[in-house]
C-alpha cells in the first residue's frame, strides 16, 4: 500500500486529488493538511511514502516546507503548481532544487470525460515517485570529507560541437547541477530532452536560464545550432536535428514519451553528426535513450551515463549501460569536468 499525504490550502483540490487516487486500491491517502507547517509536522509523524504539495500555501509555503521535510524526514515529494505560466511555475522548480522530485499542474475543473485519463497519469506518477529513495538535504551545509582525486581518463580526440542530454525523473535538478558547472562560453550547442509534465517546459527553460551562466531557451522550428546556447525540447513534440537546424516533430510517442531522448539521439546519427557529439544520459525511469545512445557510440560519439549512486532513478542509464552504450559511467558531479576536456 502506498501511503500519501496531501498538502493544499484548497479543500476542493484536496477532494479532487483524493477522488483521482481512489481509483487505485493500492493507494491510501493517510492525511490532508492545508498549510506547509502542518505538512512538515504530519510528514515527520506519519512517515508517508509520498507527499503531494502545493507551492503556494498559508502559514508556511511549499518551498520552505520542502526544505524542512528534506532536512528532517526525507520523503519523495510531488509539487503541484496552479499554473504553467513561467513565473508561477518557477516556485515549483525552486522546490525541485530543494529536493522535491517532480512537478504537475494542479487538477481543477475536471470534466467527466477526462477524469480517467487524469487519474491514470496521477496514479502512475505516485507509483513511480513513491519508490524513489531520497537523501537528506541539510539546511546548513556540512563539511564534506575530501575525496581522493582520480586521474583523468584518457579521452578520445576529435572535433565536437554538440552536447546532447537526455533525462527523465529526477532530471530537472540533475540538469541544473550539470549546467551550473559549465561556463557561459561553453564551446558547443547544447540540446536537452527532459521528460516533464505538459506545459512546464517553458518554466523549466526559464529557471535554467536564470540559475546558470548559459543562455537557455525553448527549442523552436528552424533554430540554428549555436555554441553556448542551450535549447530545451518543448512538450508534446520530439526534438530532431537536420543539418544545422532544429526540427520539431509530432510523430507518435516513443517508449510512451514525446519528446523522446531516443528520437533526438537517432536524428543525430541519421545526420552523420555522431562523431561531432557528446551524448549524456542522466537519471530517469524506463529505457528511453538507451537504444539511441548505443547507436551514437557505434557511430563515433563519446557517450556518458550517470552512475547509479548519483541517480534519483537508475532506469534509463542502467538500460544504456546494459547495452554497452556508455563509454563512461560517471557520478553527476564529475560529468562537467569530462565535458570540459572533451570540448576543447
> What SS3 state is found at 307?
coil
Say if CB 92 and CB 197 are below 8 A apart.
no
Q: Cell numbers at residue 335, please?
A: 560529468
Q: Does the active-site annotation cover 288?
A: yes
Residue 52 β-bridge partners: 6, 78
Say if CB 97 and CB 66 are below 8 A apart.
no
Residues near 173 by Cβ (< 8 Å), separated by ≥ 6? 96, 97, 312
Catalytic residue (one of 89, 119, 168, 260): 168
Catalytic residue (one of 81, 89, 130, 195): 195
Count the neighbouring beta carbons within 10 Å of the beta carbon of residue 343.
17
Q: Does the active-site annotation cover 336?
A: no
With residues binned 3-state (H G I as helix, E B as strand, rest as coil), the percentages for the chain, rounded to 5, are: 40, 20, 40
Residue 245 β-bridge partners: 224, 242
Count the neighbouring beta carbons within 10 Å of the beta carbon of residue 298.
13
Catalytic residue (one of 288, 302, 307, 310): 288
Residue 217 β-bridge partners: 231
Q: Does the active-site annotation cover 137?
A: no
H/E stretch holding 97 reads helix 86-98
Residue 290 β-bridge partners: none
Closest by CA position to 217, among listed 207, 249, 260? 207
The string of DSSP codes covering 121-155 is: HHHHHHHHHTT-------SSPPPPPPPPPPPPPP-
Say if CB 294 and CB 320 are below 8 A apart.
yes
Closest by CA position to 76, among listed 34, 26, 42, 126? 126
Catalytic residue ranges: 168, 195, 288
Amino acid at each position: 500500500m502506498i501511503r500519501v499525504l496531501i498538502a493544499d490550502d484548497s479543500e476542493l483540490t484536496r477532494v479532487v486529488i483524493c477522488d483521482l487516487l481512489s481509483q487505485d486500491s493500492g493507494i491510501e491517502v493517510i492525511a490532508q493538511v492545508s498549510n506547509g507547517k502542518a505538512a512538515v509536522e504530519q510528514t515527520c509523524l506519519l512517515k508517508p511514502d509520498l507527499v503531494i504539495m502545493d507551492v503556494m500555501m498559508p502559514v508556511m509555503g511549499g518551498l520552505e516546507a520542502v526544505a524542512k521535510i528534506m532536512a528532517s524526514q526525507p520523503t519523495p515529494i510531488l509539487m503541484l503548481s496552479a499554473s504553467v505560466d513561467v513565473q508561477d511555475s518557477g516556485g515549483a522548480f525552486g522546490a525541485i532544487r530543494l529536493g522535491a522530485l517532480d512537478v504537475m499542474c494542479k487538477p481543477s475543473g475536471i470534466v467527466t470525460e477526462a477524469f480517467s485519463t487524469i487519474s491514470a497519469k496521477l496514479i502512475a506518477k505516485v507509483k513511480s515517485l513513491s519508490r524513489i529513495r531520497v537523501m537528506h538535504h541539510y539546511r546548513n551545509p556540512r563539511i564534506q570529507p575530501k575525496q581522493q582525486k582520480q586521474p583523468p581518463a584518457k579521452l578520445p580526440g576529435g572535433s565536437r560541437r554538440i552536447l546532447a542530454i537526455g533525462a527523465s525523473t529526477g532530471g530537472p535538478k540533475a540538469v541544473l547541477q550539470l549546467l551550473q558547472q559549465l561556463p557561459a562560453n561553453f564551446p558547443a550547442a547544447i540540446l536537452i530532452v527532459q521528460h516533464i509534465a505538459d506545459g512546464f517546459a517553458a518554466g523549466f527553460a526559464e529557471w535554467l536560464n536564470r540559475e546558470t551562466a548559459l543562455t537557455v531557451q525553448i527549442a523552436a522550428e528552424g533554430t540554428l545550432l549555436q555554441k553556448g546556447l542551450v535549447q530545451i525540447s518543448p512538450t508534446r513534440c520530439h526534438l530532431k536535428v537536420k543539418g544545422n537546424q532544429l526540427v520539431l516533430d509530432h510523430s507518435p510517442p516513443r517508449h510512451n514519451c514525446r519528446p523522446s531522448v531516443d528520437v533526438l539521439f537517432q536524428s543525430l546519427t541519421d545526420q552523420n553528426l555522431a562523431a561531432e557529439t557528446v551524448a549524456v544520459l542522466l537519471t530517469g525511469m524506463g529505457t528511453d535513450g538507451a537504444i539511441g545512445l548505443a547507436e551514437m557510440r557505434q557511430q563515433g560519439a563519446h557517450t556518458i551515463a550517470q552512475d547509479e549512486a548519483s541517480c534519483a532513478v537508475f532506469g534509463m542509464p542502467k538500460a544504456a549501460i546494459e547495452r554497452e552504450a556508455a563509454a563512461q559511467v560517471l557520478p553527476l558531479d564529475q560529468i562537467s569536468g569530462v565535458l570540459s576536456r572533451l570540448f576543447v
